[in-house]
Amino acid sequence: MGLLSLAIWVPIAFGAVLLAFGRDEHAKGVRWVALVGSIVSFLVTLPLITRFQNGTAAMQFVEKAPWIERFNINYNLGVDGLSVWFVLLTAFITIIVVISAWEVITERVNQYMGAFLILSGLMIGVFSAIDGLLFYVFFEATLIPMYLIIGIWGGPNKIYAAFKFFLYTLLGSLLMLVALIYLYNTSGGSFDILAWHKLPLSGHAQTLLFFAFFAAFAVKVPMWPVHTWLPDVHVEAPTGGSAVLAAIMLKLGAYGFLRFSMPIAPDAAHEWAWLMIALSLIAVIYVGLVAMVQQDMKKLVAYSSVAHMGFVTLGFFIFNELGVAGGIVQMIAHGFVSGAMFLGIGVLYDRVHSRQIADYGGVVNTMPKFAAFMLLFAMANCGLPGTAGFVGEWMVILGAVKANFWIGLASATALIFGAAYTLWMYKRVYLGPVGNDHVKELSDINAREFLMLALLAIAVLWMGLFPKPFTDVMDASVTQLLRHVAVSKIPS
Amino acid sequence: MIDKLSWVTIYPEIVLLVMACIIALVDLSDTSARRTRTYVLTLITLAVVAAMTGMAASEGKAIYGFGNMVVSDPMGNWLKCFASLALMVTLVYGRPYAADRDMLRGGEMFTLGMFALLGMFVMISGSNFLLIYLGLELLTLSSYALVALRRDNAVASEAAMKYFVLGAMASGFLLYGLSMMYGATGSLDVNEVFKAIASGKVNHQVLVFGLVFIVAGLAFKVGAAPFHMWVPDVYQGAPTAITLMIGAAPELAAFAIIIRLLVEGLLPLAIDWQQMLAVLAIASLVVGNLAAIAQTNLKRMLAYSTISQMGFVLLGLVAGVVNGNTYNAQFAYSASMFYIVTYVLTTLASFGTILLLAREGFESEEITDLAGLNQRSPLYAGVMAITMFSLAGIPPLVGFYAKLAVLQALIASGQALYIGLAVFAVLMSLVGAFYYLRVVKVMYFDAPVTASTVSAPRDVRTVLTINGALILILGIVPGGLMTLCAKAIVATLAN
């Protein structure tokens, strides 16, 4: 069994065992099995980065076996510089989620932990599939555990949120399915994504394909104006669900642009880049302003996620190396930072059972350690140099200025909004005098929560101070992608 | 004419007929409420028949017998094998339910079930219009009686009456259409009819006239809109065990006669019947999916879901012949066959769960009766959830690959119209996802009304677990069943 197969199937196997044998009477054992499972799953992904060869854009750790011979569908896995970090990020976030749920989830613990472990394996499958149908199967299968997570452990309006999440994303991906089958037939019976990259396609076909993929990925990212499901879902989802959703699931969409839309339909991608850039800028600026007026912390972070993902898509569609690499770095950084923000809100919610900003004030007085951590994450969310948030945004803005000064200027102003809404929320929740009795009775974070936040803090600082390992890995793949996209695929 | 080879083609039917008679007699000596002896004997017979047909199917040969009256080919044998297995599973799920409602007295459920299966076998292997019709009548007459098995139940009697009247009318349609074909071509033999039509010497108008009636009759039998009216009433009204008996295995036989009549017999008219099937498919997708949303009764909802699923099966049949070219036929028809086989597998699991939750005096047929099932029994909730996600076509469950194969057949035709149909079907399946998800929602997100745990006899528990696991396993490795369907269809088309 190859490394990627292990990365996919180890968490799924642990999840299946938990579902089959876990009982609430043995909740403690279930938690430990889940923790061991998530740690083992993370450890098996480590060789992917240590043995990764920089300087080549080829797929690495490739595994290929026939899966459905009737349609020439292969179990074909591989990672390159664009995807390898996401495999590790997914496994890492899963550990954090397991820790975050430790005492918080007391009912049906085995199903909660099992769902997250299975979800982790499926998402790793999305990042490592290089067969179109295998990608689709993993991409869609993630909906099932997430639907159950939101619906079972979510907030008061959980059912609405679960349905909205499922149906919204299903609509997009069904159109992608038609596109995949179309490509299969056009390419003479192959689901190999790399073969599709080389497939000549007419301009008309490329446009249709581009928008079919757009339907799937834009909803997932989510881009303005199809982002409306995200705030609703984030508010209702349990803490772990929000963290995984923001940290990883949104990246599935952005990753799809890199793997499908741009290389398969490069001419359409260039033709419609103006639209993508416009939507990204709206996300960055307008949604940033929307975030500022939110009363609900989770909603605020959700809108801030949309704005940050706007930077990612902006970076991709200005077609230069700084932009694309910056977009990917921003995806990874946002994975750490947004995950941390949601987990922080979860820490407060577990104590006070409110997400309203108005219900807090002066938390720093009673929870100094926690407030310190959150200050770091808030700074990372605004893109302060030295934190993970800075690197990606800086690269994207530089890339944008290179492409067009005004786009660069517009995206740079968004940094101000980002700082405004994040710091204003921080001020209202953490600073000042103690706001009310609830806050007065707060106890600071315990060892478990400290561990969880410390792990994320290390990641955020490491990425901010020493981003080279991240960018080195992706350099060759980004260069290759841009070289590929620059060549027209319209048959002459 | 009746040589040694001919008998080989009907060995399974002979075993089934003889055993049905013997079991009817044996049952006289079995007076226990649960009819264990009859039950075991029936299961053994069905297992033997399934094994016989399965072995015949894996030989992969097509043999004609009795002066081309019957054919034993891989497609037919596989469908017979699956139908026998489906009936076995139905009886396992249905016995406790039927015993609680005093439906096992006289053992009619077993004998009528076996005669219905015999009817399916005759339909499947018939290569002659009359024989196919006889098989169909044997099946439907047994089914009418089965629906009416609870004599004292008003709803069931009403359902039986509706089923009978509408079913008789549909049979009349079919017979009339077949007689037109006979009049036009001068033969009842499916292959002779094919040759006569292909020669181009037969009056096209008469053929199309007959074809309309044949397609309408078939649409009645599979429950495609706008000939679907009986499906919700009968599904809801019949005792659940009988609903499963008429809703699972017979679909396989209905698929077989569609292939025998429309493909083997009337393929030269494909351009005509494909249009009709396309209209039926669109209507079924719309009616089935939209009406299912409004249902509160689970059985009725599943009936509308059946209608929409049949829409997909018909869509697969639409794409076989493109511009007079049959290169896409094996993909299209094998997609439909895969679809119907996996549909039967999921139907067994969904009704199996309803049967399991039903107790004496409690039917458990409202969607709300499933509330909080996950807290009462994670296993059965899991099986039902897998079934619902599979019907909705979410990977990695087997229902997804069925939809994929049909969509692929449509898109491979390269026709803009068919690609449009594929997009339409995809959008309708999004509507469908809503009501399947609602069942999952009720089981997982709602609080249970009663805290009692669910208990089931060991045979039901084992079979239901395997049934649910198969939906998942076939979703992870669907290749084998797909290849099987493809080979069966290729062998049938080659004749």
Task: Report d(CA A304, CA A268) in Å as an integer.
Answer: 29
| Residues in chain A within 8 Å Cβ distance of B427 | 171, 174
- The answer to whether the beta carbons of residues B274 and B211 sit under 8 Å apart is no
Confirm or reject contact between A352 and chain B (CB < 8 A): no
Tens-digit pLDDT profile for residues B397-412: 999 999 999 999 998 8
Question: Which chain B positions have a beta carbon within 8 Å of A133's beta carbon?
Answer: 404
pLDDT over threshold 90, residue A222: no
Residue type, A92: F
**3 state DSSP class of B70:** strand
- Collect all residues of chain B within an 8 Å Cβ-Cβ radius of residue A141: 394-396
Establish if A71 touches chain B: CB-CB under 8 angstroms. Answer: yes
Q: pLDDT tens-digit profile of A207-216?
A: 999 999 999 9
Q: Where are the alpha helices (DSSP H) in B101-201?
A: 108-125, 129-147, 154-185, 190-198
Tokens standing for residue B131: 């024989």
Tens digits of per-residue pLDDT, B151-201? Answer: 888 889 999 999 999 999 999 999 999 999 999 998 999 989 999 998 888
Residue B338 structure tokens: 């895969």
Collapsing DSSP states into helix, strand and coil, what is residue B57?
Answer: helix
Q: What is the mean pLDDT of residues B102-120?
A: 90
Distances (CA, A) of B429 to A269, B282, B296, B300, B308: 29, 12, 19, 18, 9
Residue A143 to residue B422, Cβ atoms within 8 A = no
Say yes or no for a CB contact (<8 Å) between B479 and A68: yes
Distance CA A329, CA A336 (A): 11
* Nearest-neighbour CA in chain B from A9: distance (Å): 13
**Contact list, A162 vs chain B (CB under 8 Å):** 441, 445
Q: Label residue A80 left, alpha or beta by phi (over 0 means left) and psi (-120 to 50 means alpha).
A: beta
Average pLDDT over residues A194-203: 87
Distance CA A242, CA B136 (A): 55
Give the end-to-end CA distance of chain B in Å, rounded to a whole number. Answer: 20
Q: Residue-wise over A307-346: b if at least 16 C-beta within 10 A, else e?
A: bbbbbbbbbbbbbbbbbbbbbbbbbbbbbbbbbbbbbbbb
The verdict on A229 touching B (C-beta cutoff 8 Å) is no
Q: Which of B444, B472, B474 to mutate to test the interface with A (most CBs of A within 10 A)?
A: B444
A16 and chain B in contact, CB less than 8 A: no
What residues of chain A lie within 8 A of the CB of B426, using their CB? 174-175, 177-178
Interface of B with A (CB under 8 A): 374-375, 378, 382, 389, 394-396, 400-401, 404-405, 407-408, 411-412, 414, 419, 422-423, 426-427, 429-430, 433-434, 437, 440-441, 444-445, 477-479, 482-483, 486
Question: What span, in angstroms and rounded, lies between the C-alpha atoms of A425 and A422?
Answer: 5
In tens, the pLDDT along A257-311 reads: 999 988 999 999 888 989 999 999 898 888 888 988 888 888 999 999 998 898 8
* pLDDT reported for residue A175: 87
Of the candidates B411, B444, B477, the beta carbon closest to that of A152 is on: B444
pLDDT of residue B130: 92
Residues of B in contact with A108 (CB under 8 A): 374-375
- Indicate the residue of A70, A111, A137 with minimum beta-carbon distance to B479: A70
- Does A137 contact chain B (CB < 8 Å)? yes
Which residue of chain B has the CA closest to A150?
A: B445
Whether residue A174 and residue B407 make contact (CB cut-off 8 A), yes or no, is: no
d(C-alpha B128, C-alpha B70), whole Å: 7
pLDDT (average), residues A18-22: 84
Whether A162 and B412 lie within 8 Å, measured CB to CB? no
Q: Is B387 helix (H, G, I), strand (E, B) or coil?
A: helix
With a CB-CB cutoff of 8 Å, which residues 279-308 of chain A face chain B?
none
Give the position of tokens 């994320």: A456
Burial of B415 (C-beta count, 10 Å sphere; 0-12/13-18/19+): middle
Q: How far apart are CA A110 and CA B375, in angstroms?
A: 12
- Other beta carbons within 10 angstroms of residue B360's beta carbon come to 9
Mutation pick from A21, A70, A73, A126 vs chain B, by most beta carbons of B within 10 Å, is: A70
B397, B389 in Cβ contact below 8 A? yes
Angle at A448 between CA A442 and CA A449, to 5 degrees: 50
- pLDDT at position B323 is 80
pLDDT one-digit tens code per residue, A305-335:
998 898 899 999 988 888 899 999 999 999 9
Cα Dmax for chain A: 73
- Residue of A70, A141, A163 with shortest CB distance to B482: A70
Q: What is the pLDDT of residue A366?
A: 86
Using pLDDT thresholds of 50, 70 and 90, give the confidence band for residue A53. Answer: confident
SS3 letters for chain A? CCHHHHHHHHHHHHHHHHHHHCCHHHHHHHHHHHHHHHHHHHHHHHHHHHCCCCCCCCCEEEEEEEEEHHHCEEEEEEECCCCHHHHHHHHHHHHHHHHHCCCCCCCCHHHHHHHHHHHHHHHHHHHHECEHHHHHHHHHHCHHHHHHHHHHHCCCCHHHHHHHHHHHHHHHHHHHHHHHHHHHHHCCCCCEHHHHHHCCCCHHHHHHHHHHHHHHHHHHCCCCCCCCHHHHHHHHCCHHHHHHHHHHHHHHHHHHHHHHHHHHCHHHHHHCHHHHHHHHHHHHHHHHHHHHCCCEHHHHHHHHHHHHHHHHHHHHCCCCHHHHHHHHHHHHHHHHHHHHHHHHHHHHHHHHCCCEHHHCCCHHHHCHHHHHHHHHHHHHHHCCCCCHHHHHHHHHHHHHHHHCHHHHHHHHHHHHHHHHHHHHHHHHHHCCCCCCHHHHCCCCCCHHHHHHHHHHHHHHHHHHHCCHHHHHHHHHHHHHHHHHHHCCCCCC
CA distance B164 to A365: 79
Under DSSP, is residue B404 helix (H, G, I), strand (E, B) or coil? helix
> Which residue on chain B is closest to A189 by alpha carbon?
B412
A470 touches chain B (CB under 8 A): no
Between residues B43 and A359, which one has the greater pLDDT? B43
B394 closest CB neighbour out of A144, A175, A182: A144
Beta carbons of A143 and B394 less than 8 Å apart: yes
pLDDT, mean of residues A180-197: 89
- For residue B96, is the peptide bond before it cis, meaning its omega torsion is within 30 degrees of 0? no
Beta-carbon contacts of residue A32 (< 8 Å; ≥ 6 apart): none
Q: How far is CA A372 from CA A7, A304, A364, A431, A464, in A?
A: 34, 21, 8, 11, 17
> Locate tokens 């099966």: which residue?
B313
Geometric angle at alpha carbon B424, from B418 and B426, rounded to 5°: 105
pLDDT at B3 exceeding the cut of 70: no
| Confidence check: pLDDT of B60 > 90 | no
Q: Would you say B236 and B365 are in contact if contact means Cβ atoms under 8 Å apart?
A: yes
Q: Cβ contacts (< 8 Å) between B394 and chain A: which residues?
A: 140-141, 143-144, 170
What is the average pLDDT value for chain B, to the nearest integer?
90
Contact B64, B127 (CB under 8 A): yes
**Confidence at residue A439, expressed as pLDDT on a 0 to 100 scale:** 77
For residues B401-429, give the mean pLDDT.
90
A184 touches chain B (CB under 8 A): yes
Spatial distance between the Cα atoms of B332 and B230, rounded to a whole number of angstroms:
28
Residues in chain A: 492
Say if residue B101's pLDDT is above 90: no
pLDDT exceeds cutoff 60 at B1: no
Calculate how close chain A gets to B481, using CA atoms only, in Å. 10
Which 3 state secondary structure label does DSSP give B266? Answer: coil
Kindly state the average pLDDT of the residues B324-336: 87
pLDDT value, residue B402? 93
**CA distances from residue B385 to B191, B350, B374 in whole angstroms, order as listed:** 44, 9, 10
User: Is the Cβ pair B437, A184 closer than 8 Å?
Assistant: no
Mean pLDDT of chain A: 88
Least Cα separation, residue B71 to chain A (angstroms): 26
Task: Give the integer Cα–Cα distance in Å for B335 and B495.
Answer: 19
Q: What angle do CA A100, A106, A111 make, to 5 degrees?
A: 80
Smallest Cβ–Cβ distance between B483 and the set A70, A137, A178 belongs to: A70
Please, which pLDDT band fits residue A442 given cuts at 50, 70 and 90? confident
How confident is residue B17, by pLDDT bands cut at 50, 70 and 90?
A: very high
**Contact predicate A330/A311, CB 8 Å:** yes
Strand, coil or helix: what is B325?
strand
Whether residues B423 and A175 touch (CB distance < 8 A) is answered with yes
Of A57-71, A126-140, B94-108, highest mean pLDDT? A126-140
* pLDDT above 60 for A360: yes
Q: Is the pLDDT of residue B4 over 80?
A: no
What angle is formed at CA A159 by the lines to CA A156 and CA A163, rounded to 5 degrees?
Answer: 145
Asked if A184 and B408 come within 8 Å (Cβ–Cβ), the reply is yes
Chain-centroid distance of CA B282 in Å reads: 19
A159 touches chain B (CB under 8 A): yes
Question: Domains in chain B: how many in total?
Answer: 1
CA dihedral of residues B213, B215, B220, B223 (deg, nearest 10):
-160
Q: Which residues contact B296 (CB under 8 A, 6 or more apart)?
A: B366, B367, B368
Residue A67: list chain B partners with CB under 8 A: 477, 479
Say yes or no to pLDDT of B436 above 80: yes
* A167, A178, A181 ranked by CB distance to B430: nearest: A167
ipTM over 0.95: no
| Mean pLDDT, range A361-374, rounded to an integer | 86
Cβ contact A69–B396 (<8 Å) = no
Indicate the pLDDT class of residue B83, thresholds 50, 70 and 90: very high
* pLDDT surpassing 80 at residue B360: no
CB contact under 8 A, A19 and B382: yes
Which residues constitute the domain of residue B202? 4-494
Q: What is the pLDDT of residues A229-241, one digit of tens each?
A: 888 888 888 888 8
- Which residue on chain B is closest to A155 by alpha carbon? B445
